[in-house]
Amino acid sequence: LKSIAVMTSGGDSPGMNAAARAVVRTALYEGVKVWGIRDGYHGLLEEDMFEMQSKDVGDIIQRGGTFLGTARCKRWKTPEGRMLGYQHLVDRGIQGLCVIGGDGSLRGASLLSQETGIPIVGLPGTIDNDVWGSDYTIGCDTAANTIIDAINKLRDTASAHRRVIVMEVMGRSSGWLALVSGISGGAEYILVPESPFDLDKICEDMKAAYQEGKRYILVVVAEGAGSGQEIGDYIAQKTELDTRVSVLGHIQRGGSPSVIDRVRASQLGEQAALALISGLSDIVFGFSKGRVVSIDLHDSVNNKKKLDPEYLHLAKVLF
Ligand code: ATP
């Protein structure tokens, strides 16, 4: 192809900038025109796009968020909306599109490709690490590190006061962030939507642990497993232990991307641009066992990723 475009869509994640930058610079290196679309599918429908030069992606690799902007777009869920977006690409001679976003964004991309045949390559951009076929999504490493930072601080104060700390982290349908940050933060309990738990039994165990001299207990809850506040209230009422709840919220989305997110996002962006330029389509690039892999776009959106059973086991063993 001779002209491609790139957008970021859905929730922002640290490293999206590095990915978009790599798409743009790889395309230019290969002598291909590259357009930036602002604010995801919304911007495509509003024709908010511009042809990009190398300097347009200067000074962004270290920034969180996405310089292209992102948005949720209801009209993209209709065939008419997607057809209009396709027309706006065709009007500019754009022959292929790279969509960087979470599973919803990739689903929108998969429908566009099926309905119009335009070549599409997706990159998994979400802190949730919930895209099927890939061990990794752009931003998950930075978000996990942000959570660990908070856990370290909470542990200091929890220990001083002999408290139970319940910390709610992001993950509506995926417990990956809770699981890895719980393991690396040394949490006693990690509650995730993928695996059932018995809160009454946990409360009994907590009381017994305190009687044996335990100084504090950390519970990490993925938002999809329940509200941190409600779980904290329940624990306080059942155990009568001094219990505090912390909801980390949108802080998890921000921050300068980690080295891992910058390098991996750059690798994925390069592969996405090269694939589009050579006419490939319906691919998501991700990582498996530390290496870049290509995944079928439709398989990726039609399957639900499972939590790594080895991590789940480790969390049990190290408790
Ligand atoms: P995150 O996981 O970080 O929230 P996401 O990409 O999953 O990111 P969504 O809000 O689910 O975020 O999706 C972003 C946009 O993708 C939506 O606003 C919509 O424009 C498009 N989209 C999502 N689901 C669909 C769908 N089923 N059909 C068509 N388009 C969709």
**Dist. CA 318–CA 203, nearest whole Å:** 18
pLDDT at 161 over 90: no
The single-letter DSSP state of residue 125 is B
To the nearest 10°, report the CA torsion of 116, 121, 126, 128. Answer: 90
Residues in contact with ligand 1 (CB, 6 Å cut-off): 9-11, 41, 72-73, 76-77, 101-105, 107-108, 111, 126, 128
Percent of the chain with pLDDT over 70: 100
pLDDT at 157 over 90: no
**Dist. CA 83–CA 78, nearest whole Å:** 9
pLDDT at 159 over 90: no
The single-letter DSSP state of residue 306 is P
The single-letter DSSP state of residue 138 is B
pLDDT level of residue 278 (50, 70, 90 thresholds): very high
State mean pLDDT over 265-279: 98
Is 253 annotated as ligand-binding? yes
Condensed to tens digits (0 to 9), the pLDDT of residues 57-75 reads 999 999 999 999 999 999 9
**Largest Cα span, the chain:** 71
HEC assignment per residue over 216-252: CEEEEEEHHHCCHHHHHHHHHHHHCCCEEEEECHHHH
Phi/psi at 7 (5° precision): -140, 160
State mean pLDDT over 137-141: 98
**Average of per-residue pLDDT values in the chain:** 96
The CA 42 to ligand 1 mean position distance, Å, reads 11
SS3 294: strand
State mean pLDDT over 213-224: 95
C-beta separation of 199 from 130 below 8 A: no
Is 215 annotated as ligand-binding? yes
Q: Ligand 1: which of 7, 76, 305 to mutate, judged by most atoms within 8 Å of the beta carbon?
A: 76
C-beta separation of 98 from 32 below 8 A: no
Between 157 and 42, where is the model more confident? 42
pLDDT at 2 over 90: yes
Condensed to tens digits (0 to 9), the pLDDT of residues 11-38 reads 999 999 999 999 999 999 999 999 999 9
pLDDT level of residue 164 (50, 70, 90 thresholds): very high
The single-letter DSSP state of residue 74 is G
Is 219 annotated as ligand-binding? no
Give the containing element (helix H, strand E) for 166.
strand 164-169
State mean pLDDT over 222-239: 98
C-beta separation of 118 from 96 below 8 A: yes
Gyration radius from the chain CA atoms: 21
Q: pTM for the complete prediction?
A: 0.96
To which residue do tokens 């809160």 refer?
A: 199
Give, rounded to a whole angstrom, the gap between the first and last alpha carbons of the chain. 53
Give the model's pLDDT for residue 95.
Answer: 98
pLDDT at 312 over 90: yes
Is 246 annotated as ligand-binding? no
Give the model's pLDDT for residue 271.
Answer: 98
Ligand 1, atom 20, lies closest to the CA of: 73
Q: Is 308 a catalytic residue?
A: no
Q: Ligand 1: which of 7, 107, 173 to mutate, judged by most atoms within 8 Å of the beta carbon?
A: 107
